Structure 1
Amino acid sequence: MENFVQYAPTEIVFGKKTEEKAGEEVKKWGGTNVLVVFGSDRVKKNGLLGRVEQSLSDQGILFREFGGTLPNPRLAHAEEGVRKAVIYDVDFILAVGGGSVIDTAKAIAHGTANPETDLWDIWTGKAPLTQSLPVGCVLTFAAAGSEMSDSAVLTNEEVGLKKGINTPLNRPKFSILNPELAFTAPKYQIVCGVADIMMHTMERYFIPGITCQLTDEIAEGLLRTMVKNGAVVSETPDDFDAMAEVMWCSSISHNNLTECGRGKDFSVHKFGMPLSARFDSTHGATLTAVWGSWARFQMDGAVDRFARYARKVWGVTETDDNRAAEMGIDRTEEFFRSLGLPVTLPELLGRKLTEEEICEMADMITMGDTIRLSRIHPIGKKAAEKIYREANK
């Protein structure tokens, strides 16, 4: 087992009608003047935003609205939020939405606390991030795990780059999780969320050569829970118990618990990010479109891990490790397809990538072949091209 630090300070308020506690939570964490960040007007039409804002008013908390966040959150939109937050002199950012809204809220919090610093410089590490405003969340959609994670992503449309940052300052002070709020999300978003949740644990699971019995058991239990309940919510999104399991898995999958003693290898996310940035594809679908080709490339470097995954998660009884590992990969792709998700790039995009596009994206994710991805088989530019090509068939 490797050395690790587990730090997950976010307070979780889980259950029915918990959005009505938003004002109490903001006040508890020192908020007096709040920027409420959200996406579409759906949260207005269904009454959620009104309930949240009423709870703020009941606590004597001032607030301003900032809507319009899109999937694959944009740098320019976050920068606009920073400008408004500075003008309004806010001291707390409250996200009402899913992962894109929460990531935007985190970015606004960082930019508002550092108004003289370019936000993209913070995002690319050119400028140090040492302070931020507190963030709270009312989660409406289970997927990204941003409600409890130390990560956030933004897309810089000017340069066509989607990039994430990890910092303890990304941890929300609190997150409110009412599974009922996810009932009305579009089916495709729900199933993409199921895939993203699973990926957050799988990206930590396959690293070989490390013994972490408890961490493995937690990860495998989470994945089995997602397979069972992900299938249910894809067809019956208003099944409270199933959505509750999915929403709680979302938080646990990305709060670092499933990496304790093993670490993480987010190379599949690296392959997906250029697809989101360039084609505005839904994040979870970009991951399922490349995961199979990534897994088959990596399998012989971690056969025991892939075989264990097949047996523990999918119930594969094959005794030969190589065959079991292959069956686990096949079962995973079959599951994604059963949800209506793509498992190849043509299924994702409606066409094949050109060779030029493949080379450009491989160059991007390896930073001009200067870095190596993955803790299994190291992936340079040529290997990245090969994985993209296999996914492009």
Structure 2
Amino acid sequence: MNDFVYYTPTKVYFGRNSDDLIGEVLKEFGCKKILLHYGSGSAEKTGLLGKVRKQLDEAGLKYVELGGVVANPRIDLIRKGIEFAKKENVDFILAVGGGSVIDSAKSIGMGLANNMDPWDMIINQIKPTRMFPVGVVLTIAAAGSEMSNSHVVTNPENHLKRSLNHDLLRPVVAFMNPENTFSVSKYQTACGIVDILMHTFERYFTPDEDNDLTDRISEGLMVAVKNAGLVAINEPDNYEARATLMWASSLSHNGLTGCGKTAPFSVHKLEHDFSGLFDVAHGAGLAVLFPAWARYIYHYDIRKFSQFANRVMGIEMDHEHPEKTALKGIEALKQYFKTIGMPTTMKELGIDPSDYEKIADMTTNGGKIQIQSYIPLTKEDILNIYRLAEEEI
């Protein structure tokens, strides 16, 4: 097990009544004026925004609003949010939404606190030295940004989607009511299931020495998500399934499943340019790329891939030919993605082979950089992964 630092400062209020605590809790934080940040309308339609406003009003808290966040949050709205927050003298940002809204709020908070343009910080990997406080009212189980140290932003001018990680980016408080995810569509629920699993996969399939405890925590989370995901897809109002997914969203990305490990997040780095260039749903892109990446790379860690197949996907272990078990596990996962309604091929994503060169160039800066994985992935390796992602089950 590698040395590690584990830091999770986010205070979580979880359950059916967590929404009723927003006003009193934020009042305890000493907020004077809040920037209420949200997306393009779903939180308004469900009545959640009205409930949040009522909570703030009853607590005597002043607030201003900035909506309009879209999937793959844009740097232009973030810059607008920074100027708006300065003008209004806000001292707290409350994100009402999912990963895109939370990441937009984090970027606004980072820019405000460090008096820098967030995109410059992201592109140049300039670590923040301070952070504006961010709270979350979560509406979808997916990105895990409600407890994570990461955020991802898109620049529409060049179609780049890039991330910056730092512990200061972790929200200070999160209100998590699974009932707020009942209205999430089947497609977005499925995207969320993939994202939760992927945040665990990226920490599980790593070239580290054995770390049985962390691996078994990951495996338990993956099995629970896999099972709850099937229920939530078919029974969207099933509280226990939605609660499992919501809590797993946080645990999969708050660092727990990476303790003692080194996670390069290879597949995320491959997918970001899909989202940035084609604006595909992040979970959908991951559902197509991960099985292809796994088939390309599994022989570098047959033990771990066969272990996953056996413990998580329920494939009987072939001790004489563990590579066969590993491949069956990858195919079973791809079938699971298909079962919950996710695309599993490039064609289903709407990406043509004529696009491959451009995407790979964006990811590798024209072939100048490599993506860390079990082996460094060159541009040609990435193109080969794309080709594997063309294949049907």
- In which range does the TM-score fall when normalised by the shorter chain? over 0.9
2:176 counterpart residue number: 177
The answer to whether the 8 A contact 1:215-1:260 is kept is yes
The answer to whether the 8 A contact 2:208-2:261 is kept is no
Q: Where do 1:155-234 residues align within 5 Å?
A: 155-234=154-233
The answer to whether the 8 A contact 1:112-1:133 is kept is yes
Q: Secondary structure at the match of 1:251?
A: helix
In the alignment, does 2:292 pair up with 1:293?
Answer: yes
Structure 1 letter corresponding to 2:231: V
Q: Secondary structure at the match of 2:63?
A: strand
The answer to whether the 8 A contact 1:37-1:94 is kept is yes
Structure 1 letter corresponding to 2:90: V
Give the superposed CA RMSD. 1.3
Q: Where do 1:69-80 residues align within 5 Å?
A: 69-80=69-80
Q: Secondary structure at the match of 1:196?
A: helix
The answer to whether the 8 A contact 2:208-2:262 is kept is no
The answer to whether the 8 A contact 1:137-1:175 is kept is yes
Q: Secondary structure at the match of 2:312?
A: helix
1:321 counterpart residue number: 322
2:342 counterpart residue number: 341
1:18 counterpart residue number: 18
Q: Which has the larger displacement, 372-381 or 322-331?
A: 372-381
The answer to whether the 8 A contact 2:144-2:253 is kept is yes
* Equivalent pairs, count: 389
Deviation by residue 1:86-121 (Cα, 9 ceiling, x = unmatched): 110100000000000000110111122234x22211
CA drift of 1:234 comes to 0.9
Q: Which has the larger displacement, 141-150 or 286-295?
A: 286-295
1:385 counterpart residue number: 383
Q: Distance in 1 between matches of 2:190 and 2:157?
A: 30
Q: 1:104 to 1:298 in 2, by over 3 A?
A: same
The answer to whether the 8 A contact 2:186-2:233 is kept is yes
2:259 counterpart residue number: 260
> Percent of aligned pairs with the same residue?
42
Q: 1:301 to 1:126 in 2, by over 3 A?
A: closer
The answer to whether the 8 A contact 1:289-1:342 is kept is yes
Q: Distance in 2 between matches of 1:27 and 1:132?
A: 19
The answer to whether the 8 A contact 1:192-1:285 is kept is yes
Q: Distance in 2 between matches of 1:111 and 1:262?
A: 30
Q: 1:269 to 1:58 in 2, by over 3 A?
A: same
CA drift of 1:379 comes to 0.4
1:154 counterpart residue number: 153
2:3 counterpart residue number: 3
CA drift of 1:45 comes to 2.5
Give unpaired runs (5+ residues) of structure 1.
none
Structure 1 letter corresponding to 2:11: E
Q: TM-score, normalised by structure 2?
A: 0.96
Q: Distance in 2 between matches of 1:133 and 1:190?
A: 30
Q: Distance in 1 between matches of 2:144 and 2:201?
A: 14
2:311 counterpart residue number: 312
Q: Distance in 2 between matches of 1:352 and 1:214?
A: 42
Q: TM-score, normalised by structure 1?
A: 0.96
